[in-house]
């Protein structure tokens, strides 16, 4: 798919809009041209299609999703290849992620427990098939307008019979939600997912990160060594049993956590049973918090004319508050309107008359004088009388037709020499009798612009390579320190460093061959990887 002009169709699917993009590919909302069903399509980025680690991960996600069928997991529809790209078509889930919902404020305790219960139901099913998600976080939990949570993005999922999916000494996952064993690149099981669920629940009820670290390394160290503050210290209204359950789920030692998703669910179910049940008004208010645009068009089946009287109350109140004009007042209004209309018509007539009488210079630069016709004010009329029509000569039927020339204008000679040449006029000949070589001038200007663009890119590339060298040095130092502590460098950071090197080399090669478009593309990719690594190292 082109970077500048996105493809409008892939196979039998028409692209509607882009839903998002990440390190592996882009996700689109599409419509199946045969069934007319709206789906979500995930496509591996063209530049990643040749990188074996990314294509292997994408193929693994396809196979994992194909084996799952649960109401709380976004379903896989089909997968295929098109134009050497890997394509995965999934169930389109309408709604918002729990991360987006969290941006608007903390969840009530009942809401948070309900949503996490659905996530645990999905994990219980996946764990039963020996599949570990390894990237549980609120942004991978989609909340529909009906209140159903769908677990998404199994791109890092691992099946129990798969080995060698993680490089030695590397870690995978999202730092804020990563279990200690993931940080230390140790074997993971279902208890690692449950740790991430606990961190997600921590954020949902406190609206704060579990650890406030300033760099990626310090955050990883906190997961391994630091005990988080109990959630009830940050949110005093939170029931103590909820706080205790969260603290148990994020224990450093996996043996001290819940051992299964069902055990976690049972603990939450007991707490939910002891909570006061929300009233119908509170439930209605909670539903109303979902964004209006997330609701499907057919969810209510209600048109603008079907709304209740209270929904149209502002417009109705405004209409009632405006008093109806009395008969006497109506006559006064008509009189005022007639006077205003006469004033406008008279002004327009004066303007037209003056336009006709404006002098026009002759070819010698002399300006003939013309005496404008005297302007007489229209006779005063009774205010109650209807407005008179303007004289026909002052308002011709075709407003764009110019008025007939005056005698002075007809006698004025036309000096064609004073008229500037138009854009469509033929090119004038030079004294030598040949037209100027504009094509050669354009080529010279284009070559000059190309040289300047390449010079600017060279400068940008040098600056980017300096930043990349600083990143490489810091990563080398960090790796040595992490190996001493028994911690491995994150897998995505290892991949970013490799991509950064590759993209910089390709950008240099493109600049050498004068391919500015290709150079621009790879410079942008390298810039993205450098910024990602700088953020991880705390340089930004």
> Contact 183/220 with Cβ under 8 angstroms?
yes
Q: How many CA atoms lie within 13 A of 499 on its CB side?
A: 28
Q: Are 212 and 106 in contact (CB under 8 A)?
A: no
Q: From the CA atom positions of the chain, what is the Rg in Å?
A: 37
pLDDT of residue 415: 47
Cα distance between residue 389 and residue 39, in whole Å: 63
3-state secondary structure 255-298: HHCCCCHHHHHHHHHHHHHHCCCCCHHHHHHHHHCCCHHHCCCC
| Residue 349: predicted pLDDT | 67
- By CB neighbour count within 10 A (0-12 exposed, 13-18 middle, 19+ buried), where does 13 fall? buried
21: enclosing H helix or E strand:
strand 13-21
**pLDDT recorded at residue 290:** 47
Read off the tokens for 366: 């002399």
Question: CA nearest 360: which of 415, 413, 409, 414?
Answer: 409
Domains of the chain in sequence order? 9-91 (3.30.200.20), 96-276 (1.10.510.10), 441-537 (1.20.1270)
Helices (H), 94-214: 98-103, 109-128, 180-183, 190-206
Instruction: Return the ∠ at Cα 136 (arms to 130 and 137), rounded to 5°.
Output: 170
DSSP state of 73: B
Spatial separation of the C-alpha atoms in residues 134 and 159, rounded to whole Å: 11
pLDDT at 81: 85
What is residue 142's DSSP assignment?
A: E
Q: Assign 174 to helix, strand or coil.
A: coil
- Which helix (H) or strand (E) covers residue 147, if one does? none
Query: Are 40 and 93 in contact, with CB atoms under 8 Å apart?
Result: yes
β-partners of residue 26 are 21, 43
Distance CA 430, CA 306 (A): 75
Give 498's contacts (C-beta < 8 A, 6+ positions apart): none
pLDDT of residue 351: 65
Contact 185, 178 (CB under 8 A): no
Coil vs helix vs strand at 194:
helix
SS3 call for 344? helix
Give the pLDDT score at 332.
60
Q: Among residues 273, 232, 251, which one has the least CA distance to residue 114?
A: 273
Which residues have C-beta within 8 Å of that of residue 460, sequence separation ≥ 6? 523
Could you give the residue ranges of the DSSP H alpha helices within 485-515? 491-512
Euclidean distance between CA atoms 126 and 135, whole angstroms: 13
* Number of separate helices (H) and strands (E) present in the chain: 16, 13
Q: pTM of the entire structure? A: 0.54
User: Which residues lie closer than 8 Å to 85 by C-beta, 6 or more apart?
Assistant: 1, 10, 43, 44, 46, 49
Phi-psi region of 142 (alpha: psi -120 to 50; beta: other; left: phi over 0): beta
Q: Which residue has the tokens 């169709």?
A: 9
Separation of alpha carbons 210 and 250, rounded Å: 10
pLDDT one digit per residue (tens) for the chain, 540 residues: 444 445 688 889 999 999 887 666 789 999 999 999 999 998 887 666 556 667 777 788 888 888 899 999 999 999 998 877 889 999 999 999 999 999 988 799 999 999 999 999 999 999 999 999 989 999 999 999 999 999 998 766 655 544 333 433 344 557 899 999 999 888 889 999 999 999 999 999 999 999 988 788 889 999 999 999 999 999 999 999 999 999 999 999 999 999 999 999 999 999 999 887 655 444 444 444 444 333 333 333 343 334 443 444 344 333 333 444 444 455 666 666 766 777 777 776 666 666 555 544 444 444 444 444 444 444 444 444 444 554 444 444 444 445 555 544 544 444 444 444 444 444 444 444 445 577 888 888 888 888 888 888 888 887 788 788 777 877 777 777 676 666 667 777 777 888 888 888 888 888 888 888 888 988 898 888 888 887 777 766
Task: Provide the pLDDT for residue 403.
Answer: 54
């Amino acid at each position: 798919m082109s970077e500048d002009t996105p493809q409008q169709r892939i196979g039998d699917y028409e692209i509607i809009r882009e839903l998002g993009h990440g390190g592996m590919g882009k996700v689109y909302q599409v419509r199946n041209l045969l069934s007319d069903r709206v789906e979500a399509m995930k496509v591996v980025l063209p530049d990643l299609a040749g990188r074996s680690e990314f294509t292997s991960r994408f193929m693994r996600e396809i196979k994992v999703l194909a084996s799952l069928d649960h109401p709380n997991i976004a379903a896989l529809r089909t997968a295929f290849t098109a134009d050497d790209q890997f394509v995965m078509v999934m169930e389109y889930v309408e709604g918002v992620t729990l991360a987006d919902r969290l941006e608007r404020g903390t969840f009530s305790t009942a809401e948070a427990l309900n949503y996490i219960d659905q996530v645990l139901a999905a994990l219980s099913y996946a764990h039963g098939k020996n599949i570990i998600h390894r990237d549980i976080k609120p942004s991978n939990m989609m909340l529909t307008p009906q209140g159903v949570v769908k677990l998404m993005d199994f791109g890092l999922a691992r099946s129990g019979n798969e080995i060698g999916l993680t490089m030695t000494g590397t870690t995978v996952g999202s730092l804020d939600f990563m279990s200690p064993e993931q940080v230390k690149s140790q074997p993971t099981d279902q208890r690692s997912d449950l740790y991430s669920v606990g961190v997600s629940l921590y954020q949902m009820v406190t609206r704060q990160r579990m650890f406030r670290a300033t760099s990626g390394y310090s955050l990883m160290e906190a997961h391994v060594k630091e005990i988080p503050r109990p959630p009830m210290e940050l949110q005093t209204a939170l029931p103590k049993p909820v706080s205790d359950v969260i603290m148990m789920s994020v224990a450093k030692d996996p043996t001290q956590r819940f051992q299964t998703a069902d055990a976690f669910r049972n603990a939450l179910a007991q707490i939910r049973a002891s909570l006061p049940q929300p009233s119908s008004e509170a439930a209605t208010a909670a539903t109303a918090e979902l964004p209006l645009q997330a609701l499907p068009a057919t969810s209510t089946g209600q048109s603008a004319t079907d709304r209740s009287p209270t929904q149209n109350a502002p417009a109705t109140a405004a209409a009632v508050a405006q008093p109806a004009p009395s008969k006497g007042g109506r006559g006064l209004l008509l009189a005022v309107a007639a006077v205003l209309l006469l004033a406008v018509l008279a002004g327009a007539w004066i303007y037209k008359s003056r336009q006709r009488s404006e002098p026009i210079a002759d070819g010698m630069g002399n300006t003939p004088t013309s005496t404008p016709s005297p302007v007489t004010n229209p006779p005063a009329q009774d205010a109650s009388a209807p407005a008179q029509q303007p004289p026909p000569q002052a308002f011709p039927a075709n407003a764009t037709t110019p008025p007939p020339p005056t005698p002075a204008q007809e006698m004025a000679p036309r000096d064609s020499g004073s008229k500037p040449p138009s854009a469509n006029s033929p090119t004038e000949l030079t004294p030598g009798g040949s037209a100027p070589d504009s094509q050669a001038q354009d080529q010279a200007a284009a070559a000059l612009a190309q040289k300047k663009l390449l010079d600017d890119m060279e400068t940008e590339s040098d600056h980017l390579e300096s930043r990349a060298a600083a990143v490489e040095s810091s990563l080398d130092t960090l790796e040595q320190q992490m190996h001493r502590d028994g911690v491995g460098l994150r897998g995505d950071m290892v991949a970013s460093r490799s991509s950064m090197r590759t993209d910089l080399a390709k950008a240099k090669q493109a600049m050498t061959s004068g391919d500015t478009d290709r150079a621009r593309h790879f410079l942008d990719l390298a810039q993205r990887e450098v910024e990602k690594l700088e953020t991880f190292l705390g340089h930004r």
